[in-house]
Each structure stands twice: as structure tokens, then as C-alpha cells.
Chain A
Amino acid sequence: MSAASPFVDWVVGWGRAIRFAALALATALSPSAYRAETRDVALKQIYFTAWQVLPGFLLFSTLFSFVVIEIAVNAARGYGLAAYALELVMRGLVLELIPLVTALFVALRSGAAIATEIGLMKATGELERLRAAGVDTLEREFVPRVAAAAVSVLSLTVMSCAIAMALAYWVMYGVSPHGFADFTRVVALVFGGAALAGFLLKCVAFGALVAVIPIAAGLHASVRLKSVPVVVLDGMVRLFFALGAVEVLALAVKYT
């Protein structure tokens, strides 16, 4: 962390992250990565990233969705545009806000943990010992984590969105089943094939970023333990920036 210019440092940091992402993708696509050891690592990562936080996160996302839906539906009714409230909720909350909030939540909880873990492994020489023992750290440690993070974020997002859809129906029509036809019509309008594919792709991209950027940052740690907090902080800033950039890109692709 002693480059001549912070800007050059910043660019080099992104370069490292992109290089690591490309390597991870290449490894994930090679069949040799799918072994019992890697699967164990991935299962543990999914467990820590998704299962452990599931109740708290679902509670949080339910409250968040409820507030946003209430605001959207009441504002639309106030303007006499109740017919568009449901579409607004689906387009704004389900397709955009919930994936981003989920990614940020996982980034805070697991991204920081991953960056610290890898940074410590680097600082304590753990990684060097593994490499010396002939273990491919990329294949055995990093790629399973990236894949697991992607699956976790997708899983949490899908569950949150399901709850949000049910809440939207409830706020809009109550428990009456007579709103179903109208609801179905709006679903057909909002969720085209492209929208669904884009949604899944975006969730996976968010999840992968949540692991890739912290790992790339952690790998940059020096042998000194003091460097670990610095790389974790750097990784988190980059992660938030990357999540925002993906969201903006997705919106740009969708609405231009």
C-alpha cells in the first residue's frame, strides 16, 4: 500500500479484482473444481451466509417491503393512480430494491468476514503453507466461496421477493381472492422473460461480487497483521461501489 498515487493504487486495485474474477470464473467452469472438498467449503459458506441469517434477514426484509409497499400504494391512491401502484411496487421493490438491499446485507455480514479471513490467512502465511503443500487455493478455497455467496444471495433475494409479492397482494387487495386476476395481469405485464432472466443474472452477479471483491482485497494483505483492517476496509468500499455500478448498469440496460 505504498504506491505513488492513490488514483493509481485505486486503478491497480480494480485490476486485481477483475483479474481474480476472471480466474475464478475460469476455475468455476472447469470440471475439476467440482469435488467433495470444494463442495464442503461451499456448503459451509452457504450455511454461514444464508442459513444463519435467514430469520433475521427475512424479518428485516418483510418490514422493509411492507413500509415501501404501504408508501407506494398510498401515494398512488392519493394521486388517483391506484391502478399503477402494483406495477410500481413490482418494478421498484421486487425487481430493484430487494436484490440490492439483500446484496448489501450479505456484503456487510459475509463480505467483511471473507475479506478478514483471507487477509488473515495471507498475513499468517496459511495460504503460503497450503500452496507449498501443493493445494490450489483458488480452486479449493476461493471459487467455492464465490459460488456459495452467489447462491446465498440468490436464495435470500428470491425468498424476500416472494414475501414482498405476497405483502403487495395483501396491502392492495386484503385477503380477498378477487384481486387475483388483476394481480396476475400486472405480473404478466412486469415479469417478461427478459425481466426474469435479468433478475436472476443480477442476483448471481451481486452474490459473486460479494465474495470476489473481498477475496481479491484480502489477498492483497501483507504479512503484517496490521495490514488486514486496511485491506478489509478497501475491499468493502470497492464492494459497495461495485454493487452500485451493477445496479446502475442493470437499470440502464433495462430502461434505455
Chain B
Amino acid sequence: MDIESPVTQVPKHLQFRVALLLAVTLVIVIGFVAYVLYARGVFEAVQRLTLVADNAEGVSVRMDVTFSGFPIGVVRRIALGEDGKARIEVDVPQREAKWLRASSVFVLERGLVGGAKIRVFTGDLKAPPLPNDAVRPVLRGDTQEEIPQLVATSRAILENLERLTGSGGALNVTLANLQTLSERMSGRHGMLGAILGTDADAAKVVGAIERANGLLASLERASSRLDTLIANTDRRVLGDAGVLEQTQATIVQANALLADLRGSLKKLDGVLTEAQGVGANAKTATADLGQLRSEIDEAVRRMSGLIEEIHRKWPFRRETEITLP
């Protein structure tokens, strides 16, 4: 076959070169296939885990299962179980199985960008390890499902905002009122005018305040006079030779007078005993009796004078009746 020979020279070692080329190709292919098998965990023992979800939307085969952001396993198979729930079968290499504990929580999340993510949360790494072929529920944390609700809420808020800010809306009216208020505040009567509305009312209030000021001044004068009065009274009643001291002296005198009276009455008692003993000789005793009577009369007169004096000096009413025997 020398069809090409006029154009191109067939080199020496042609077979060797072609064989080399094919050998390199074959080595690359076999090496890469082996690498892919290694990458897919064919040479590695795996722990099986089945996650049960209400909805496996977004989950795909070969999807990662992550722990603390690191992929520790892949989804091997997704199937719909007899109970109508999705069964997500996960392969976790033995060297990563230590992150799976009996207390681990599995969450299926769907973000806005990228596919769904299955995350493992293990709070207690000292908990007993998760057994092989374990079946665990998976919780769903779905951003996309929350979006319609979020949009509905936002729309309601926006509508409210629009109603507030629209022409004739509450905010506009409030702003107009605020403007009026600020205009009045900058007017002659300032803030008072703004609060009361009209200038006339403001003027009335100003007048009232002035009158109140006058009233306060006169009250102050009255109060100073009252102070003087109280000081005088104090001196009269409680001071030296005041009412209280005089009353005390009078009471001492009255005590002495009463002692005298008691002595006189004892004497009278003795006289009456004698008078009984004398009996019939009453006529002779009449002279003594007359003298005694005059003494008693005098004592009683002094007594009533004293009481009158007490009445005059002591401002409180008291029954000071003295009953003779």
C-alpha cells in the first residue's frame, strides 16, 4: 500500500510510536476510571442510613450530606415508601461515620440558589454512634416555601403604607396639622397659641396668669402677717409671766387653801362632837357656834374668790364645785 508514499515518508519505529500513543491513552483511561471508582467510594466500606422525609423535592442522587459544611456522605437512592413518605438512602463512608450519633438531627434545606442540602447536626459527639441501616426522620427548612407568605405579608404592609401616604391619607392630614401647629408656634403667642388654637384664648390665659401672680403676692403678704400673729401668741401663752405660768401659781395657791379648809373642817368635826356631848347646853354653846360660823363663812368666801380668780385666769371650763359635808 504505497498510496501515501509519494507524499509522506513513513517513519521508522512507526509501530512503537503508535503503540506508545495508544498505551498512554489506555493508561489515562484506566487510571481515570480507577480514580472515579475511588471517588465514588467503591473501594470503601460505607454505613447506610435511611432518612424519611414528607417531601423529597430537590433531593437528587449523588447529592451531598454535609456536617459542619463538609460533605460526609452522598444520597445513594431516593424511593417512595409504602407509607407515602420519601425514603432517602444515604451512604456515609466508615471514616466519616463518627459524626453520626444517635442524637444527630437531619435537616433538608432548600435555598434560593443551588440544589437542596441535607445537613447533619450532632450536638453531643459523645452520644452512642448511629447504627448501620438506621432510619431517621429528616426535618425540612424551606426558604422557598416561606417566600409566598413573606410576599403576602409585605404586600399587606405596602398597602397600609400606601393608604397612609396617599393623598388624603392619615399621614398627609397629620402632616398638614403639624404644619399648622408649627406655624402657630412661630406666631406671637408661641407654643401657647399652638396649644389653644386662637390668639384670643391665648391672651385670656396670659391675663389669668398675671392675675394669679397678683394673688400670689397678696397671699405672701398675708402669710407674713400671720407669722407675726403666731409669734405674739406664742410669747403670750408660753413666755415668762405668760398665761400658763400664772395658772400654775394659782393652782399652788389653791392647793394651800384646800389644806387650810381641811384643817378647819377637822376643827368643825371636833366642835360638833363636843356639841353632841354638851347636848342640852346648847344655848351656851351658841356663842362659840356663831364664831365658828363666821370663820366658815370667811373660808367659803375666800374659796369662792379663789375659784373666780381661777375662772378668770384659766381659759378651760371645769366644774369646781365644792360640796360641804
Contacts and interface: CB of A to CB of B under 8 A. Distances in A.
Partners in one complex: yes
Contact of A185 (B21, B33, B35, B64): B64
A171 to B, nearest CB: 19
Contact of B1 (A41, A50, A158, A200): A41
B28 A162 contact: yes
B125 interface: no
Nearest to A50: B21
Contacts of A151: 22
Given A54-B21, A162-B32, A187-B35, A40 B40 contact: no
A236 B1 CA distance: 25
Contact of A158 (B10, B28, B113): B28
Nearest to B62: A189
B15 interface: yes
Contact of B14 (A47, A126, A140, A141): A47
B18 interface: yes
A47 B22 CA distance: 11
A49 to B, nearest CB: 10
Contact of B3 (A50, A117, A159, A184): A117
B33 A196 contact: yes
A162 B25 CA distance: 10
Given A43-B14, A47-B11, A84-B114, A185 B71 contact: yes
Contacts of A155: 21-22, 24-25
A217 interface: no
A196 B28 CA distance: 13
Interface in A120-141: 121, 126, 140-141
Contacts of A46: 18, 21-22
A191 B36 contact: yes
Interface in B1-23: 1, 3-4, 8, 10-11, 14-15, 17-18, 21-22
B29 interface: yes
B39 A187 contact: yes
Contacts of A41: 1
Interface in A42-71: 43-44, 46-48, 50-51, 54
B25 A154 contact: yes
Nearest to A157: B25
A9 interface: no
Contacts of B14: 43-44, 47
B59 interface: no
B79 to A, nearest CB: 18
A155 to B, nearest CB: 4
B17 A40 contact: no
A135 to B, nearest CB: 10
B18 A188 contact: no
B141 interface: no
A40 B28 contact: no
Interface in B54-108: 62, 64, 71, 74
A120 to B, nearest CB: 9
Contacts of A83: 114
Contacts of B29: 158, 200
Interface string B34-64: 0110111100000000000000000000101
Interface of A: 37, 40-41, 43-44, 46-48, 50-51, 54, 81, 83-84, 117, 121, 126, 140-141, 151, 154-155, 158-159, 162, 184-185, 187-189, 191-192, 196, 200
30 contacts: A37-B1, A43-B15, A43-B18, A46-B21, A47-B10, A47-B14, A50-B21, A51-B17, A51-B21, A81-B114, A117-B3, A117-B4, A151-B22, A154-B25, A155-B21, A155-B25, A158-B25, A158-B29, A159-B24, A159-B25, A159-B28, A162-B32, A185-B71, A187-B35, A187-B36, A188-B62, A188-B74, A191-B36, A196-B33, A196-B36
Shortest Cβ-Cβ A-B pairs, 8 listed = A188-B39, A155-B25, A184-B39, A188-B40, A187-B39, A191-B36, A46-B18, A43-B18
Given A37-B1, A43-B14, A84-B114, 11 more contacts: A43-B18, A51-B18, A81-B114, A141-B1, A151-B22, A158-B28, A184-B35, A185-B39, A188-B74, A191-B32, A192-B62
